Structure 1
Amino acid sequence: MAKDKGTDKIIRQLKNEYYKNWRKKNPDKVKKAQERYWNKKALEVLSSKEN
């Protein structure tokens, strides 16, 4: 089955809508994930400055 630009666009829109609704229903999980991400980035910056 070949995909074309139109199909890709529709798939992307459906995924965006799904994840938007998921984030709306799970704000606590989103917040925790963002905290983990930024803590990890901060540790990466600190470790790169030490080297």
Structure 2
Amino acid sequence: MDDIEKLAKEERNAYFRRWRAENKDKVRAINMRYWEKRAEAKFEKKVKENG
């Protein structure tokens, strides 16, 4: 069972490596949205704390 799980993990990782290599613009956009949301949440928390 461990061998199958290991193979599945390797296949999944290889797939996503290929996808990221072929979709650099999408990866960049996804990362930008993530960090913008984090910054926005941090800003809102600061505003809420300071009134």
TM-score of the superposed pair, with normalisation by structure 2: 0.82
Q: Distance in 2 between matches of 1:49 and 1:9?
A: 44
What's the C-alpha RMSD, in Å, of the aligned pairs?
A: 1.0
Give every structure 1 segment of 4 or more consecutive aligned residues whose post-TM-superposition deviation is greater than 4 Å: none
The count of aligned residue pairs is 48
Aligned mates of 1:5, 1:46 — CA distance in 2: 45
Runs of 5+ consecutive residues of structure 1 not aligned to the other structure: none
Which residue of the partner structure matches residue 26 of structure 1? 23
TM-score by length of 1: 0.82
Q: Give the Cα separation in 2 of the matches to 1:10 and 1:50.
A: 48
Percent of matched pairs sharing the same residue: 31
Q: C-alpha distance in 2, partners of 1:16/1:36?
A: 23
More helix by share: 2
